[in-house]
Amino acid sequence: MTRLVDNPDDFPSQAVAGFASAFPGHVRPVFGGVVRAARTHRKVALVVGGGSGHYPAFAGWVGPGFADGAVCGNIFSSPSASQAYSVCKAADRGAGVLIGFGNYAGDVLHFGQAAERLRSEGIDARCLLVTDDIASAQDHLARRGIAGDLPVFKVTAAACEEGRDIDEVVRVFNRVNDRTRSFGVAFAGCTLPGGDEPLFRVKPHHMGVGMGIHGEPGIHDEALGTADEVAAMLVDGLLADRPENAGTRVVPIVNGLGSTKYEELFVLWNDMCCRLEAAGLTIVDPQVGEFVTSLDMAGVSLTLVWLDDVIEPLWLAACDTPAFRRGVIGQVELDTTALPQTAEHVSVVHPGSRASQETADAIVTALEAVAVRLAECSSELGRLDSVAGDGDHGIGMTRGSQAALAEARRVREDGAGAATTLNAAGSAWSEHAGGTSGALWGAALTAFGAALGDDDPADDHIIRHATRAALDAVTSLGGAKVGDKTMIDAMDPFVTTLESSSDQLPQAWESACHSAGVAAQATSEMTARVGRARPLGKKSLGTPDPGAVSFHEVVVAVGSVLSK
């Protein structure tokens, strides 16, 4: 379990600060993460990232020959778009920015938003999704990213370092991502900072086959045999999933997840090595150690990179980072330009009209009610979330709504109108809540605000229109439909009822709340049934997330303000 903690809320930022202070020759802190300490020539920049808790991934790979920057989210939670934007801006070397990350919903959302904003500023920014985990989907490009992050980013970074243009680098990325495949097992879950219970449990003497690096459910559990039996399963699984034109030269990467230690990894590698050679493969530059961890989770994965003439020299090229070094990087000059350390520079207050400022006052009042209500039901939301997810929904919603309120108050004092207030609130919510729901609520608030604008007074019609805009934003970002057991199940009937009602807004809002409440109730009941049936610590696929319940709480809280 995680024991060395000051304040669990500050754990990820303290870890980044400590990391940057331990490696001043390699990295410099910037709001949202770290960038290279070394001055770097004009080139395509590679920024990598994702949630924290996976060190050396991702910050441990920043330095000459490897990444230009790393975005560091909360533990196991996607960074916010503004964190990603901030690191990318600082890492930009004038020839485009590639943002590399494992294929997880929250990362796709937030890094996508950051890339969008960079492009709006004229920077050619693109997202690169690593998809190496063969256990997570049939289609290679639909898979999630695990320890394959290391070789895929390393090879892509080496192509950037050679000065290739962005289209060429993207082609290299696609090639190495296609030829990198991983397969893993878990023996025991890790405990989040401040937590007392592991995220999941595996029966003693068993292993979760194909389990993800945050404890996502695997294909199945099976009895744990000898090291050689584990070696056989992982090697055979990967050999059965060779890419096209695989060839016979492979880089094997044996990755310990945290508390499966070096001596065990060497024993396992000893067995794997024999099996790979028996399969007629030539082993090139094997890697055995900890590369993509999951706090102190027990488990191991094997990655195979199927080399070709393009990939092999890029993999072997020199680099010098805190956690991965090879070859010789000459003396570097340290970059001493100032870097922003807070989110301030991301938000710029545009003054609203008098009428819109009045709407903004009402928005602040509504956000107060929302923050109070979400804090009240935080543990209940956490309990519901622990059945299907990682139990942080209550904490995330509370943090998000409180940050949104603080930011709304701040910009409102600076004269903001409705759109600017909600945009600032949305960014803060997304950043502080973390996770997918943080991104979705951020997008909802921003879209709602955009529909209100900073000039016109808000009338009933505009507000109805704004709720539809918020729904569209959530649907388009999150991709969920009604029936997928997400917040959309409550939000869609809410918006439809509000639009179709001929009542005045407060009454119409109440009816709409009732529609949302039906979905919320269904979610709670379904979760309770699954919750009672599931084995201890075992996650259940198909269980609703509590998004419908928290959505209902939010709109009821807003309704209490509207009816005054």
Q: Which residues bind a copy of itself (CB under 8 A)?
A: 1-6, 11-12, 14-19, 21-22, 52-53, 55-56, 60, 75, 187, 193, 207, 224, 226-228, 230, 258-271, 273, 286-288, 293, 295-296, 298, 300, 325, 328, 330
Q: How far is the CB of 264 from a copy of itself (least distance, A)?
A: 4
> Please, which residue, 300 or 557, has the CB nearer to a copy of itself?
300
Nearest to 411 by CA among 403, 420, 402, 419: 420
Q: Assess contact for 143 and 132: CB atoms under 8 A.
A: yes
Query: CA 147 to CA 265: how far, in whole Å?
Result: 15
Beta carbons within 8 Å of 59's beta carbon, 6+ residues apart: 16, 19, 27, 33, 34, 70, 72, 322
> Please, which residue, 22 or 533, has the CB nearer to a copy of itself?
22
Lookup: tokens for 22: 């331990």
Query: CA 463 to CA 448: how far, in whole Å?
Result: 8
Q: How far is the CB of 21 from a copy of itself (least distance, A)?
A: 5
Query: CA 26 to CA 141: how far, in whole Å?
Result: 33
Q: How far is the CB of 221 from a copy of itself (least distance, A)?
A: 14
In whole angstroms, how large is the CA radius of gyration of the chain?
Answer: 24
- Alpha-carbon distance values, 225 to 207, 232, 268, 348, 442 (Å): 9, 11, 12, 59, 47
> Please, which residue, 299 or 417, has the CB nearer to a copy of itself?
299
Q: How far is the CB of 270 from a copy of itself (least distance, A)?
A: 3
**Is cis: bond before 66, omega within 30 of 0?**
no
Nearest to 73 by CA among 404, 386, 340, 438: 438
Query: CA 464 to CA 58: how far, in whole Å?
Result: 43
Which amino acid is residue 380, in one-letter code?
E
Q: Considering 26, 54, 110, 214, which one is annotated as catalytic?
A: 214
CA triplet 492, 495, 496: central angle to 5 degrees? 85
Q: How far is the CB of 65 from a copy of itself (least distance, A)?
A: 14
Query: CA 374 to CA 429: how far, in whole Å?
Result: 13
User: Which residues face 188 on adjacent strands?
Assistant: 298
Which amino acid is residue 81, in one-letter code?
A
Which amino acid is residue 340, in one-letter code?
P
Q: Assess contact for 153 and 228: CB atoms under 8 A.
A: no
Q: How far is the CB of 22 from a copy of itself (least distance, A)?
A: 4
Q: How far is the CB of 55 from a copy of itself (least distance, A)?
A: 4
Lookup: tokens for 109: 């959302």
Task: Please indicate whether residue 393 is annotated as part of the active site.
Answer: no
> Please, which residue, 264 or 484, has the CB nearer to a copy of itself?
264
Q: Which spans in 37-95 are helix H? A: 81-91
Q: How far is the CB of 252 from a copy of itself (least distance, A)?
A: 9
> Please, which residue, 53 or 442, has the CB nearer to a copy of itself?
53
> Please, which residue, 303 or 475, has the CB nearer to a copy of itself?
303
- Ramachandran category for residue 84: left, alpha or beta (phi over 0 → left; psi -120 to 50 → alpha): alpha
**Is cis: bond before 56, omega within 30 of 0?**
yes
Q: Assess contact for 145 and 133: CB atoms under 8 A.
A: yes
> Please, which residue, 124 or 264, has the CB nearer to a copy of itself?
264
Q: How far is the CB of 18 from a copy of itself (least distance, A)?
A: 3
> Please, which residue, 60 or 426, has the CB nearer to a copy of itself?
60
Lookup: tokens for 171: 């082609």
> Please, which residue, 104 or 269, has the CB nearer to a copy of itself?
269
Q: Which residues are catalytic?
A: 214
